[in-house]
A and B are shown apart, each in its own frame.
Chain A
Amino acid sequence: MIEVRGIKKSFGDQEVLKGIDMQLQRGQCNLIIGSSGSGKTVLLKSIVGLVKPDSGQVLLDGRDWTGMPERERKVLRQEMGMVFQASALFTSLTVEENVRFPLDFFSSLPLTEKNARIAFCLDRVRIPQSALRKNVAELSGGMQKRVAIARAIALNPKYLFCDEPNSGLDPETSVVIDQLIQELTREFGMTTVVNTHDMNSVLEIGDHVVLLRHGYKVWEGSGPEILKATNQEVVDYVFVSALFKRVRAALT
């Protein structure tokens, strides 16, 4: 479980996060939604520690992550996996080397077990054997996302963070990636946090959804609940598109 308490962050005189509280449960896909510029990425980066929040606390299963000395944080980092918006694969390495990378750094497994772990992770995200020696730049966006997910789960993390895993993907591939994230979350009992714009993800995999607006949390609930929400902020965010106007009309 990840507990976020009163996270605030400003850049210059722009206050991006104005005190966010949330509880994200284990074995669930926790989605953070909100319009562009609402602070989703800053919030996710504050949780993983790429951005230092001005105030507030993050607890990882009760452990005070934000207050920890750097040495202990480093050890805890091995329990985190992250999938970046543009995949952020190491472009100088092959597919297989990308997944091997965290294992080489942080695991003391013997070589055969390392190889088995790499094969398992790549198989789990359905990367074919024929792609292992390819340079990651040769892969399609969807394949790169899969490799990024394989790299993120290589060390068997307790926490998985994804920043817009569907951006730049077609609807069909988006659904595949979403399902993969959900499957892995359930299978390994991870606490998963996903930033997204994709309303389909909200409905498909949103066990717990948090809506951000102007740096505040304005709504939370489960994915399907969002269709029935009467909160004006939700209405303004969700029911602006033609598709969702029709959905709402059909529901009422």
Chain B
Amino acid sequence: MLKGFFLGLGSYFLFLGSVLRRPESWREFGKSLMREIELLGLSSIPLVVFISLFMGAVLTIQTAINLDDPFIPDLYIGVAVREGIVLEFSPTIVSLILAGKVGSNISSSLGAMRVTEQMDALQVMGINPAGYLVLPKIVACLLFFPVLIVFSIFMGLLGGYLAGDWLRMVNPDHFLMGYFDEFNPYFVVYALTKTVFFAFIISSISAWYGFHVKGGAVEVGKASTKAVVAMSFTIILFNYILTNVMLQ
């Protein structure tokens, strides 16, 4: 079990070595990158909007109920909601959800290419399948996840504000002032740093699982499940490590 883990880890780093190389053709790399940004990034926007709006709303409701005290002004509810969204909900929870959507897409599409010998076809032509197929996916995630997370932060804040206003749980003006009160830009740096780490974790781990599928369609499905479990563990672990390093 432990031996298997370390062998896997070794193979993962070797895999990264073959992926992180100069592309054989920049033009083809550019084309693939555009395709991946569309496939992995743009297509995730509706999901991110939906989740973030409702997450923000729930956060406001819960915080308003917990801080339902005449001596605590609504401004502090706004501050608490903002910190919750910026520090944790958008970067971590949305990344976990993207691990499910984007990660399983990466591992199953690469796995399908593996078992149908499309990767062998590339190799026979003299194209390194790891570099050609995986690098654009990783770069697309590194570039586009931060955009998605910033987007998610705005949507979360919007959802929180709208819920507080509609349900009349807070005074909207005081609540909104909370969003701008003693705003610490370093928290955004922290959130985006986490996002970049998570983007790399998601794209590279799911690619590794998909790339090494052996067998047929059933194994492709299994690899994608394993990939989601491994990504979730790694994200939670790195969330703890990065928080320790950056916020202490």
Asked if B117 and A85 sit within 8 Å, CB to CB, the answer is: yes
Knowing A77-B124, A77-B125, A82-B124 are in contact, say whether A105-B117 is a contact too (CB < 8 A).
no
Asked if B120 and A88 sit within 8 Å, CB to CB, the answer is: yes
Which residues in B have their C-beta under 8 angstroms from that of A161? 124
Query: Among B24, B28, B116, B126, which residue has its beta carbon within 8 angstroms of that of A88?
Result: B116
Knowing A84-B117, A88-B116, A90-B118 are in contact, say whether A50-B125 is a contact too (CB < 8 A).
no
Asked if B118 and A91 sit within 8 Å, CB to CB, the answer is: yes
> Is A78 positioned at the interface, with any CB of B under 8 Å from its CB?
yes
Which residues in B have their C-beta under 8 angstroms from that of A90? 118, 121
Min Cβ gap A176→B in Å is 22
Task: Name the prevailing secondary structure of the A interface residues.
Answer: mixed
Knowing A91-B116, A91-B118 are in contact, say whether A105-B28 is a contact too (CB < 8 A).
yes
Which residues in B have their C-beta under 8 angstroms from that of A74? 126
Which residues in A have their C-beta under 8 angstroms from that of B25? 104-105
Asked if A48 and B118 sit within 8 Å, CB to CB, the answer is: no
Q: Compute how far the CA of A85 lies from the CA of B115 in the bound complex, rounded to whole angstroms.
A: 12
> Is A86 positioned at the interface, with any CB of B under 8 Å from its CB?
yes
Min Cβ gap B164→A in Å is 45
Q: How many residues of A contact B (CB 8 A)?
A: 23
Min Cβ gap B15→A in Å is 18
Q: What band does the interface of chain B fall in when counting residues whose beta carbon is under 8 Å from A?
A: 10 to 19
Asked if B121 and A84 sit within 8 Å, CB to CB, the answer is: yes
Min Cβ gap A70→B in Å is 10
Asked if B125 and A102 sit within 8 Å, CB to CB, the answer is: yes
Knowing A86-B116, A105-B28 are in contact, say whether A77-B126 is a contact too (CB < 8 A).
yes
Question: Which residue of A is nearest B27, CB measured?
Answer: A104
Which residues in B have their C-beta under 8 angstroms from that of A102? 125
Which residue among B120, B123, B125 has the maximum number of chain A CB atoms within 10 Å of its CB? B125
Min Cβ gap A238→B in Å is 29
What 0/1 pattern do residues 20 to 32 of B give for CB contact below 8 A with A?
0000110110000
Question: Which residue of B is nearest A50, CB measured?
Answer: B120
Which residues in A have their C-beta under 8 angstroms from that of B27? 104
Which residues in A have their C-beta under 8 angstroms from that of B61? none
Which residue among A104, A105, A161 has the maximum number of chain B CB atoms within 10 Å of its CB? A105
Which residues in A have their C-beta under 8 angstroms from that of B153? none
Question: Which residue of A is nearest B124, CB measured?
Answer: A82
Asked if A88 and B117 sit within 8 Å, CB to CB, the answer is: yes
Q: Compute how far the CA of A77 lies from the CA of B113 in the bound complex, rounded to whole angstroms.
A: 21
Which residues in A have their C-beta under 8 angstroms from that of B24? 105
> Is B188 positioned at the interface, with any CB of A under 8 Å from its CB?
no
A228-245 contacts to B, CB under 8 A, are none
Asked if B125 and A105 sit within 8 Å, CB to CB, the answer is: yes
Question: Which residue of B is nearest A104, CB measured?
Answer: B28
Which residues in B have their C-beta under 8 angstroms from that of A105? 24-25, 28, 125, 127
Asked if A48 and B116 sit within 8 Å, CB to CB, the answer is: no
Which residues in A have their C-beta under 8 angstroms from that of B28? 104-105
Min Cβ gap B34→A in Å is 13
Q: Compute how far the CA of A48 lies from the CA of B24 in the bound complex, rounded to whole angstroms.
A: 20
Min Cβ gap B229→A in Å is 27
What 0/1 pattern do residues 98 to 121 of B give for CB contact below 8 A with A?
000000000000001100111011
Q: Compute how far the CA of A85 lies from the CA of B127 in the bound complex, rounded to whole angstroms.
A: 20
Query: Among B112, B113, B124, which residue has its beta carbon within 8 angstroms of that of A48?
Result: B124
Which residues in B have their C-beta under 8 angstroms from that of A85? 117
Min Cβ gap B146→A in Å is 26
Min Cβ gap B106→A in Å is 13
Which residues in B have their C-beta under 8 angstroms from that of A82? 121, 124
What 0/1 pattern do residues 114 to 146 of B give for CB contact below 8 A with A?
001110110111110000000000000000000
Q: Compute how far the CA of A84 lies from the CA of B125 in the bound complex, rounded to whole angstroms.
A: 13
Min Cβ gap B75→A in Å is 52
Which residues in A have their C-beta under 8 angstroms from that of B113? 91
Asked if B117 and A86 sit within 8 Å, CB to CB, the answer is: yes
Binding site for B on A (CB under 8 A): 45, 48-50, 73-75, 77-78, 80, 82, 84-86, 88-91, 102, 104-106, 161
Closest 4 CB pairs of A and B: A77-B126, A88-B117, A88-B121, A74-B126
Show 8 A/B contacts (Cβ-Cβ < 8 Å), sorted by A.
Answer: A75-B126, A77-B125, A89-B121, A90-B118, A91-B112, A91-B113, A104-B25, A105-B125
